Structure 1
């Protein structure tokens, strides 16, 4: 899952929001020996969400739909496209309007005081300055997200053009998401009870 979906499972506190972002920005070995319990729980939850997503039959079936040169990047594309579906259908999945949810996330990210590296710092400031979470609901938001991923890549990718796949693939992506996301929510709720 990408940023919006991971943040969906935060508790809207500084450490929970950053814990849902940090594993994409900092290797486990870079973390200090001592972090808050909340940050540690959400780092572990982020990793659980990634494992659950990568192994889910709906995600595996979607990955098989991508042709070269996109097949190699199918996991990344599904993450972004699922964020698009989540943002478009937000009212079905969350009690708050997406704008209010995003405002609370931005406030939490601004208040964060824990361990950080340049990559996490850049991501926090990009989220705060560009306020792009509700933008995932729109094709332009998806295009910008994919262009950003392409820019940050260490090698040449086709991600900047991959938004062109979305119109044709959207019906299947939305169908797969509607099957997958309730199962992810249930799995996360069970995981939180055991943490």
Structure 2
């Protein structure tokens, strides 16, 4: 799952959302230096990654993409899933994507001091270009891919990735819509259990 999905799957607690958002940048037991709700988000991020890595529907999507994208099939699955989530956000969640992301951006600014340095480096560009809302359009996905090619050396041709998405949209969206309730149920259970954080 990519940024938008990780944030949405965190529930309504903004600090849990932020912890989940930055989870990739917090390695090992470094999460212990964060306040409790951030820690819950970081640990939830890890749980989501583990769950998706082993879920048969995600594996089905990755296999569909592997012939076109090779070792980047998993990354592209994450991006496509965020596109489907953003595009149908109101239908899937009952919430306005614009209001949801605006509230999250405000929370990021208020909790700036807790962000890992890597996130501080791109935060203002991320907010000012409204990246989360841009996931809802093909042009926004293309721009996200261009950024990843430039800064993360993603070995994917953005225009070809968009062509693949358009050509395989029905199948990929069907996989996503079957997967979303499963991962939501897992996250809901995690958020409602007494997490042992030490």
Structure 1 and Structure 2 fold alike (TM over 0.5)? yes
Q: Give CA-to-partner distance per residue, 1:126-178, whole Å, 9 cap, x none.
A: 3222112121111001111111122222x461253422311012111100011
Q: CA deviation at 1:5?
A: 0.5
- Describe the shift of the 1:61–1:137 C-alpha distance in structure 2 as closer, same or farther (beyond 3 A): same
In structure 2, relative to structure 1, the CA distance for the partners of 1:122 and 1:186 (3 Å cut) is same
Say whether residues 1:22 and 2:22 are aligned partners.
Answer: yes
Show the 5 A alignment for 1:44-123: 44-68=43-67, 70-123=69-122
Going from structure 1 to structure 2, the CA distance change for 1:43 and 1:32 (only over 3 Å counts) comes to closer
> In the aligned structure 1, how far is the partner of 2:42 from the partner of 2:99?
24
Q: Which runs of 5+ in 1 are unaligned?
A: none
Q: Secondary structure at the match of 1:137?
A: coil
Partner of 1:173: 172
Shift of 1:192: 1.1
> Whose helix proportion is higher, 1 or 2?
2
Q: Structure 2 vs 1, CA of residues 156 and 75 (structure 1 numbering), >3 Å: closer, same or farther?
A: closer
Residues 2 and 80 in structure 1, CA contact (< 8 A), matched pair in contact too: yes
Structure 1 SS opposite 2:94: coil
The structure-2 alpha-carbon separation of the partners of 1:159 and 1:55, relative to structure 1 and needing over 3 Å to count, comes to farther
Work out the CA distance in 2 between the residues paired with 1:84 and 1:167.
Answer: 12
The Cα RMSD (Å) is 1.9
Q: Does the CA-based 8 Å contact 2:20-2:44 persist in structure 1?
A: yes
1:10-51, Cα deviation, whole Å (9 max, x unpaired): 34555223211212234335x375310100000000111111
- Work out whether 1:158 is the aligned partner of 2:156: yes
2:171 match: secondary structure: helix
Q: CA separation of 1:18/1:138 partners in 2, compared to 1, >3 Å: closer, same or farther?
A: same
For 1:106-132, what per-residue CA distance to the aligned partner results, in whole angstroms no more than 9, with x for missing partners?
111111144333311124223222112
Check whether the contact 1:63–1:71 (CA below 8 A) recurs between aligned residues: no
5+ residue gaps, structure 2, are: none
Q: Secondary structure at the match of 1:107?
A: helix
| TM superposition score normalised by structure 2 | 0.88
Q: Report the CA distance shift for 1:169/1:122 in structure 2 as closer, same or farther (over 3 A).
A: farther
- Aligned counterparts of 1:77 and 1:137: Cα–Cα separation in 2: 15
- Paired position in structure 2 for 1:133: 132
What secondary structure, in the 3-state scheme, does the structure 2 residue paired with 1:157 have?
coil
Per the TM alignment, residue 55 of structure 1 is displaced from its structure 2 partner at its CA by 1.1
